[in-house]
Chain A
Amino acid sequence: MPSVEPRGAERREARLAYGMVAPAVATILLIALFPLTWTVWESLHLHDLRMPWLGQPFVGLENYVEVLRERRFWGAMAHTAWFAAASVSLELVLGCVLALAMNRTFRGRALVRASILIPWAIPTVVAALVWRFMFEGLEGWLTDDLGAWLPVILADTWKETPFVALLLLAGLQGIDPALYEAARIDGASPWRQFRYVTLPLLAPAILVALIFRTMNAFRVFDLIYVLTGGGPGTATEPIALYTFNSLMHNLRFGYGSALSVLVFLVTFALALGYIRLLGRGLTEGRP
């Protein structure tokens, strides 16, 4: 009987809760947090799987110093930043247009939603291959240092815009129609309605989409691995691909782990911003 002895009931409830969360927490500790700690440990040691006789001596921050001196690292960082900026801004603009167009009742709305969802749902590898196929027919793009970015950015935009559009659509549907009514009565043009009603009220959803997409763009791997392989040369190599090559091709686990930690730190900084924004959204009573 829960009401007889409140303290005991509370304790029982907590005990049950710990039992229920234990399996999931144990899994997360084992496969995510423990490996992450291990990565940090590896990054402070020399560990080369091709040269096992060297052992794994502690080298302090040497791996990090080497990373920061490496031109290919800075190139990869620049590629990643440039890719994220270009694709995310395209996706936001197109996603906003699509969300505005979809934010009305019309026949075939379900069909439209389904058809834009499919690119989002398919494997990234498939998207990359289809775009590579389309661009291999066009001479010169994939072999050009700058031109090779075009299929990469188009493929990413094609695949990710639906997600942005759906996020923004959810935001649009939360805006009170009475506000537009009031703006119309005051004689506001459609542009001014968009500028002074839609945009400010949509800002939280836009920010969420922006940070969420930036974080994902920063991790880009599959798309470029398949579409350009980072080439020509290393002209389109992002940071995740450089890290992967250091680890799984060159088998330099110490050096590669230092790269991993740096990638983690940047993503973590973006995530912190995201959580802080979300927290503010939650206390303001937004969904």
Chain B
Amino acid sequence: MRSQGRWATLVMAALVLGAAFPFFRAIAGSLTPEAQLFEGAPLWPSPAVLEHYRALFAERAFWLPIRNSLIVAGSTTLFCVTIGSLCAYALARLRFRGKTLLLGVILAVSMFPQIAIVSPLFLLLRSVRLINTYPGLVLPYLTFAMPLAVWLLVGYFRQLPAELEEAAMVDGASRLRAFREVIVPLALPGLAATAILTFVYSWNEFLFALSFTLGPERQTVPVAIALFRGQYQVPWGQVLAAAIVATAPVALLVLAFQRRIVQGLTAGAVKG
């Protein structure tokens, strides 16, 4: 038993260090002066410089993609959680025909390969002049975010005891009011977890953002970083600084809400 515990600790330490090493390299690289980067980056720079972070915002206007990503991911999340929670409540609690079919369709849509709908979405957005706009990204993002949100929320609503709104309804409240005033406040942790996962997925999305934007004024963070170009070669210092900046918000969210995220993730995947 003893040796088993030691074995587990060792394995875990190795895997955790392995997981952390690329982050360490990225942070070190983002602090290394440009000249040293081209001669094979040292393990840790001396002197460590913040030059790349300064250039990122002063010369590359990196706040622009950050703003775009916040707007797009934020709107997608807001839209999905409000509309999705109505739909999820009906699916979790009300009796109506076609419920199983609807659940099946939502599950199927959540598994759509994005590449299968890129071309019609492009033609559709072009015909209504939404290429290179915020709605032109939020709408396509709903294809993956909406099924995800609905699916997770159905799970959360089902966990709440049905007696709660029944009691409210006996007291004369309508279904809708019982939902708003009894269920929503109780499901807040679930709503928060859903919002976080939706936000993270939208923040990270690449294919749609690459296909439906034309220039820096609407590019999201992942697209902006992927298309970074220097005059002669990849400006690695700035790329890595941008990578750290793009990682920070999701890393903070994960650290703050890890328990809920893990619950949502495993429920979402095991159940769909």
Q: Which residues of A are interface residues toward B (Cβ below 8 A)? A: 2, 10, 13-14, 16-18, 20-21, 23-25, 27-28, 31-36, 38-39, 42, 94, 97-98, 100-102, 104, 106, 110, 112-119, 121-127, 129-131, 133-134, 136-137, 158, 162-163, 166-167, 169-170, 190, 205, 208-209, 212, 215, 218-219, 221-222, 225-226, 240, 243-244, 247-248, 253, 256-257, 260-261, 263-264, 267-268, 271, 274-275, 278, 281, 287
Contacts and interface: CB of A to CB of B under 8 A. Distances in A.
Contacts of B223: 125
Given A16-B176, A21-B86, A222-B222, A118 B23 contact: yes
Interface string B70-103: 0000000000000110110111001111010010
Given A122-B247, A130-B22, 8 more contacts: A16-B176, A39-B120, A125-B222, A125-B226, A126-B246, A167-B270, A267-B112, A275-B108
Interface stretch (B54-62, B181-189, B259-267): B259-267
Nearest to A213: B269
Nearest to A164: B269
Given A14-B94, A112-B12, A131-B22, A28 B86 contact: no
The contact size tier of chain B is 35 or more
18 contacts: A14-B96, A20-B87, A28-B105, A28-B143, A38-B124, A104-B8, A110-B258, A122-B246, A124-B222, A125-B204, A137-B41, A163-B265, A166-B262, A219-B113, A243-B115, A248-B210, A267-B116, A274-B111
Interface string B37-65: 00011000000000000000000000000
B35 interface: no
B240 A226 contact: no
B115 A124 contact: no
A31 B104 CA distance: 17
Given A39-B117, A114-B255, A27 B12 contact: no
Contacts of A121: 200, 250-251, 253-254, 261
Contact of A264 (B112, B140, B175): B112
B115 A23 contact: no
A148 to B, nearest CB: 16
A97 B11 contact: yes
A247 B95 contact: no
Given A101-B12, A117-B258, A31 B269 contact: no
B164 interface: no
Contacts of B91: 21
A167 B266 contact: yes
B113 A267 contact: yes
B66 interface: no
Interface of B: 4-5, 8-9, 11-12, 15-16, 18-20, 22-23, 25-26, 29, 40-41, 83-84, 86-87, 89-91, 94-97, 99, 102, 104-109, 111-124, 139-140, 142-143, 146-147, 150, 169, 175-176, 200, 203-204, 206-207, 210-211, 221-223, 225-226, 234, 236, 239-240, 243, 246-247, 250-251, 253-255, 258-259, 261-262, 265-267, 269-272
A110 B254 CA distance: 11
B29 to A, nearest CB: 6
A133 B120 contact: no
A261 to B, nearest CB: 7
Nearest to A170: B266
B94 A219 contact: no
B83 A275 contact: no
Contacts of A2: 169
Contact of A27 (B83, B89, B107, B236): B83
Nearest to A102: B12
B253 A20 contact: no
A190 B243 contact: no
A144 to B, nearest CB: 19
A32 B106 CA distance: 10
Instruction: Pick the most buried of B99, B108, B269: most chain A CB atoms within 10 A of its CB.
Output: B269
B254 A118 contact: yes
Contacts of B262: 113, 117, 166
B206 A222 contact: yes
A106 B13 CA distance: 13
Contacts of B19: 115-116, 118-119, 158, 162
A122 B86 CA distance: 29
A119 B11 CA distance: 18
B222 A126 contact: yes
A112 B265 CA distance: 17
